[in-house]
Amino acid sequence: MLLDPVSAAHLREIRDTRGAQIRITPDEINETILIDRRVAILAGDPRLGERSFSIVTQPEVVQGVTSLFDAAWRSATTVDAYDARIAELRDIAPQVLDLLGRGVKDEAAARTLGLGVRTYRRRVAELMEALGASSRFQAGVRARELGLV
């Protein structure tokens, strides 16, 4: 979301006006709502068809879900730190995605952007990480899913 300036601004607005605490992780985590550490609402996988939700009140299960959430929260990055890290990447992401989509070789793409080849490759790797992609092809698919291209 933070690669898209509009989405990034929306997250900051939610944080600033509603007091939300936001952290970023590259890990996929299903939607989970914890209420007073006594109730867990777990969202089903939306890819499986109609979305389902489970409401759990059994203390041992809620404690287990809470522990997983706490671990994910601690290992995640604050939105400000993440945003600062990818600010430059956000600015060049559309051009990099365009060049990747056209199959431009790294050397030519780096020249087009006025970057060294190593810097360009580092930006591509950072973009792939931000998109949660393990290949350039997957980065393109993820960028399309997110409406970045």
Spatial CA neighbour of 86 closest among 149, 131, 33: 131
Per-residue pLDDT of the chain (149 residues; tens, 9 = 90+): 666 777 778 888 888 999 888 888 877 788 899 999 999 999 988 777 888 999 999 999 999 999 999 999 999 988 888 777 777 777 788 889 889 888 899 999 999 999 999 999 998 998 888 887 889 988 888 888 777 77
Query: Is the whole model's pTM more than 0.75, yes or no?
Result: no
In the DSSP assignment, the letter for residue 20 is -
**Strand pairing report for 53-56 and 39-43:** antiparallel
